Amino acid sequence: MGEARDGVKVKRVVFVTVGTTCFDALVKVADSQEVKDELYRRGYTDLLIQMGRGSYLPIKSTGDDGSLAVDYFTFSSSIADYLRSASLVISHAGSGSIFETLQLGKPLIVVVNEDLMDNHQSELAEELAERKHLYCARPLTLHQTIAGMDLNSLVPYSPGDATPVAKLINRFLGFPEES
């Protein structure tokens, strides 16, 4: 299970994030035995859950008994460091979380919150999943997605570019073109 030469186990962290929202369904299912077993089976060692405004509290575990180590926290001013040290990210469908993760080149499973009223978020997740930049799942299908995912098949996301907009704005306002 990924042991380095000096016998120290290599940490493979799964980072779950719900951003600034309340998404108990994701936190619950990430903490479920089914999902944890599946993650362990796929070679992950740690599960870290950023649970946001939710009320469901995961069960912490050190993972000494041959299972996933589990920890959680509510908020952080910046999750960039957590994303950077993760081997897999499972995120709510907020565009900020999605693009921050994709820009760091991390494998991503986006879980759509079906309890949201006007679920436009799923449009973005589905579109990016179609373009093979990430996997898209519902809380109830998360464990299947984890079981069947092939992270090597994901296409890296090239960062976007705001200069076309800037050009059009400048042209409209009559500013000279930059060379």
Partner 1 sequence: MEKNTSCFFSNSSPNLVITCFVAFITIILVRFLYVIYRTGKPLNKRTPQQTLSTLIVLGSGGHTAEMINLLLVLQKDRFTPRFYIAAATDNMSLQKARMFENSLADSGVKGISAEFMQIYRSREVGQSYVTSVWTTLVATAHALWLMIKIRPQVVLCNGPGTCIPLCVIAFIFKVVGIRWSSIFYVESIARVKRLSLSGLLLYKLQIADQFFVQWPQLQRKYPRAHYVGCLM
Site for partner 1, rule CB under 8 A: 20, 94-96, 99, 103, 117, 120-121, 123-124, 126-127, 159-166, 168-175, 178
- Least distance between partner 1 and beta carbon 50 (Å): 15
Classify residue 127 as exposed, middle or buried by CB count within 10 Å of its CB (0-12, 13-18, 19+). Answer: exposed
Closest CA to 87 of 23, 135, 43, 49: 43
Residue closer to partner 1 (CB basis): 68 or 93:
93
Classify residue 26 as exposed, middle or buried by CB count within 10 Å of its CB (0-12, 13-18, 19+). Answer: buried
- Least distance between partner 1 and beta carbon 56 (Å): 20
- Least distance between partner 1 and beta carbon 133 (Å): 11
- CA–centroid distance for 38 within its chain: 16
Residue closer to partner 1 (CB basis): 97 or 145:
97
- Least distance between partner 1 and beta carbon 75 (Å): 11
Residue closer to partner 1 (CB basis): 155 or 169:
169
For 87, the token pair is 């081997």
Sign of the Cα pseudo-torsion (97, 99, 102, 103, in order): negative
Residue closer to partner 1 (CB basis): 20 or 144:
20
- Least distance between partner 1 and beta carbon 102 (Å): 9
Which residue type, as a one-letter code, is found at position 158?
Answer: S
Residue closer to partner 1 (CB basis): 133 or 143:
133
